[in-house]
A = this chain, B = another copy of it.
Amino acid sequence: MTPWTRLAEVLAREKLDALVLSGLPNIRYLTGFTGSSALLLATRQGAVFFTDGRYRLQAAEQVQGAKVVVARGALVTALLFSVKRRRLRRLGFESRRANYDFYAALRAGLPGIRLRPTAGVIEQLRTVKSEDEIVALRRSVRLNSAVFEAGLRQVQVGRSEREVADRIEYLMRRRGGDGPAFETIVAAGLRSALPHAKPTHNLLKKNEFIIIDQGVILDGYSSDMTRTVALGGLGQRARRVYHVVLEAQLAAIAAVRPGIQAAEVDRQARMVLQKHGLEKNFVHSTGHGVGLEIHEPPRLGRREKTRLEAGMVITIEPGVYLEGLGGVRIEDMVLVTALGCEILTPTPKELRVL
């Protein structure tokens, strides 16, 4: 079933004549358009895509499955005209991806028409990836791992976190990526205990954890990987923490299969940490979907009832953060398959001492 067919089913079920899409990743998902100015009116009978004059050529080349309208003035004005001409009566719009001004323009321009805020309709369709999307995600993951290996050469005593992060992001572009999927994290020593540390000018030292969390965008699709490495040997406690996190990560991956609740995968990681008294030091959720955006549904958190489905692509990334010692996070991307899962990330996970 194409996304368009699935969308038509959702519209029928929700008793909507059409959905107004203003979120660019959702519009890209449905139409293939990669530009920065677009609206989409998706009716049960077909879709109309709106852009401005700058994108005339690009829209003609890229947009699939929708009629293209190049608006002379505001896109929303062209869209209002289309809604009225088609006599649509019940219209959904994306409440998280529409700003108030856009909503107000719809409300004022469509008297008598029912406007219903919707959330996550397309995001829900996007959770299960198509074959083409899986190919794109595999390529993105492979590029990210290749850049990681090349970047490791910069991990040397006396280099700063920033230098390493800058080099990684440079390599992402040099090797054909669109750019980083998020701000690359390089966090060494005590700073590795901060889950969202920004790279600083602090210099790398021996015998400390270094967390590297990086993702690249390639042809629109994001990847996401974390490895924790060290320059020179680590103390016994640090090595123990590393292996506990790795065990937790492997346990969570082992649980991934169609039908399992996201919360249950998260629980598998937590149970391992709990056994070692480290559960309180795992302060985030176990993972998230990845695709056209770096953070997508499903979330693999403690209370997420979503059941995994074959074709979902998610991260598995438990971490332990100890003030005064440092932190460890190990993250792979995995594809949910009919029988279980496939680990997409090819980078080894044994503790690397550089």
Q: Which of B93, B100, B119 contacts A98 (CB 8 A)?
A: B100
Q: How far is the CA of A165 from the CA of B174 in the complex (A)?
A: 10
Does any Cβ of B come within 8 Å of A240's Cβ? no
CB distance from A98 to the nearest CB of B (A): 5
User: Given A166-B170, A169-B173, A173-B166, does the pair A99, B101 have CB atoms closer than 8 Å?
Assistant: no
Q: How far is the CA of A170 from the CA of B184 in the complex (A)?
A: 13
Q: Besides the contacts A96-B99, A100-B100, A100-B102, what 8 more A-B pairs have beta carbons closer than 8 Å?
A: A54-B196, A96-B101, A98-B99, A99-B99, A100-B103, A101-B119, A103-B103, A166-B170
User: Given A166-B173, A170-B170, A173-B162, does the pair A104, B95 have CB atoms closer than 8 Å?
Assistant: yes
Binary contact track A172-183/B, C-beta < 8 Å → 1, others 0: 011000000000
Does any Cβ of B come within 8 Å of A97's Cβ? yes
| Chain B residues positioned under 8 Å from A196 (CB to CB) | 54
| Chain B residues positioned under 8 Å from A117 (CB to CB) | 100-101, 104
| Chain B residues positioned under 8 Å from A170 (CB to CB) | 166, 169-170
Does any Cβ of B come within 8 Å of A296's Cβ? no
13 of the cross-chain contacts (CB-CB < 8 Å) are: A95-B100, A95-B101, A95-B104, A96-B100, A99-B100, A100-B102, A100-B103, A100-B117, A101-B117, A101-B119, A165-B173, A166-B173, A170-B170
Q: Which of B95, B104, B162, B166 contacts A99 (CB 8 A)?
A: B95
Q: Which of B54, B99, B163, B174 contacts A97 (CB 8 A)?
A: B99
A interface list, Cβ under 8 A from B: 54, 93, 95-104, 117, 119, 162-163, 165-166, 169-170, 173-174, 196
Q: How far is the CA of A97 from the CA of B102 in the complex (A)?
A: 11
CB distance from A222 to the nearest CB of B (A): 17
Using CB atoms, name the residue of chain B closest to A199.
B173
| Chain B residues positioned under 8 Å from A166 (CB to CB) | 170, 173-174
List of 3 A-B pairs having minimum Cβ-Cβ separation, nearest first: A170-B170, A166-B173, A95-B100
Q: How far is the CA of A100 from the CA of B162 in the complex (A)?
A: 38
Using CB atoms, name the residue of chain B closest to A53.
B283
Using CB atoms, name the residue of chain B closest to A98.
B100
CB distance from A150 to the nearest CB of B (A): 14
Which of A101, A102, A163 gathers the greatest number of chain B CB atoms within 10 Å?
A101
Q: How far is the CA of A240 from the CA of B91 in the complex (A)?
A: 55
| Chain B residues positioned under 8 Å from A169 (CB to CB) | 170, 173
Q: How far is the CA of A162 from the CA of B170 in the complex (A)?
A: 11
Q: How far is the CA of A99 from the CA of B98 in the complex (A)?
A: 6
Q: How far is the CA of A104 from the CA of B96 in the complex (A)?
A: 10
CB distance from A65 to the nearest CB of B (A): 24
Q: How far is the CA of A104 from the CA of B100 in the complex (A)?
A: 9
Q: Which of B93, B96, B100, B162 contacts A93 (CB 8 A)?
A: B100
